[in-house]
Amino acid sequence: MAITKVVMPKLSEAMETGRVIKWLKKEGDPVSGGEIIAEIETDKADIELESFGSGVLRKIVVPAGERAPVGSLIAVIADAAEDIASLLAAPPSPAPAPTTAPATLPGPPPAPAPPRAPAVAPAPAPPVPMPVTADVAGRVKASPLAKKIAAQSGVDLQLVQGSGPGGRIVRSDVEAALSSAPAARPAQAVAAPAAVPSAPGVEYQDVPLSSIRAAIARRMAQAKGPVPHFYLTAEVAMDRAWELREELNALEGQPKVSVTDMIVKACALALLKHPGVNASFQGETIRVHYRAHIGIAVALEEGLITPVLRDCDRRSLTQIAVEGRDLVERARNRRLRAQELSGATFTVSNLGMFDVDEFSAIINPPEGAILAVGAVVQKPVVEGERLGVGRRMRLTLSCDHRAMDGAMGARFLQDVKRLLEEPLRLLV
């Protein structure tokens, strides 16, 4: 029987090391090809490590809780009678593993491929409806900010229990509903946010970097320093987009569409028309992408993560709403799949739900641009010779000047604005 070397997989472009959270098998246990044998913590998510060989888990080289470089040996699977002494005695020689490569390297001859074992995770639990907080007229009592966040994130306030005075729904209730909406998983499999206890009289505390925060620190220094940014800002009239979204969300049995969903769709369509913005600087060349893979920035307790929704130009608005929400929820639970951690050609970052009117985002290399989205606000607007009230939103595009110039970015932003101001184009 073949010997299978289990190595630390490379699951993202920025990943240099990984931590073994826990082994799901112990030494001496039989292992089948396709079976999940361990959980690995990367800088972006917790990943289930799948075995590509069959036999017996003969040796665990890296115990649970310890880190190992990408490509280094962390375990050995082989027949019970196989001699693995020379393999274990060999000096460690981490070999770079390709992104999203198989987690294990089977040796010759190839091991048989039995059917994949069932996933260890339990079936998703349906969301539990919660009491409705409504006044005598049947209206939901909620703060304006809670209504705003719920509207932008697709949370149904009818299912949210309010904790404010008189049962009023407040912002924290909506955020709690967002975090509790994903399918429940075993408690030990969900990474808890790092607690930062405070003690009276203590002036400060040095908090160790989480893996996500360490990756952000490393990547942003690599981005802001060598990448020459320039910024373009435009104000978008969101009245028609807002009305269309309310009409779509009023349809019975249809998924809720958020403002972010509409912006992702608009960006995907505009990127196909302006491939120069859907590009990345490669040193001697500029790589132009002809598919719109959009990274969606998600704020976690540990830091920022950008899971990737692929082929957004080919997906309908409702598909983007459903699959984007699933992606965000699994990102919050650190349950992304390896292929969802990299490969974005453009990123959208929306801080509107935090009442941020406008900001400038840092490009996430190797992408060439990122769009920062502010809040949709009602404000006085001049329409013809009349003064009225309209919904407005500010978009700021950060561009890599090595890959594109101002006019290219401006034309792209102009088309995103047009698509949002004529939102029926998002449906055709």
Q: Tokens 């149904």 identify what position? A: 156
CA distance readout (Å), 308 to 16, 185, 401: 20, 22, 24
**pLDDT tens per residue across span 29-84:** 999 888 889 888 877 677 778 888 889 999 999 999 898 998 899 999 998 888 88
Helix (H) or strand (E) holding 22: strand 17-23
Residues of the chain with pLDDT > 90: what percent?
45
Mean pLDDT of all residues belonging to the chain = 80
Q: Record the pTM.
A: 0.63
Arithmetic mean of pLDDT, 157-164: 66
Q: What is the pLDDT of residues 85-128, one digit of tens each?
A: 888 876 655 444 444 444 444 444 344 444 443 343 333 333 33
- What is the spatial distance between Cα 400 and Cα 405, in angstroms, rounded to a whole number? 8
**Spatial contact of 265 and 320, defined as CB atoms under 8 Å apart:** yes
**The pLDDT value given to residue 80:** 85
pLDDT at residue 121 in the model: 38
Q: Is the pLDDT of residue 173 over 50?
A: yes
- Give residue 255's pLDDT band: very low, low, confident or very high (50, 70, 90): very high
Q: Is the pLDDT of residue 263 over 50?
A: yes
Catalytic member of 229, 289, 293, 401: 401
Give the span between the Cα atoms of 68 and 61, in whole angstroms: 10
The verdict on whether 289 is a catalytic residue reads no
Is 63 within 8 Å of 74 (Cβ atoms)?
no
Q: How confident is the model at residue 385 (pLDDT cuts 50, 70, 90)?
A: confident
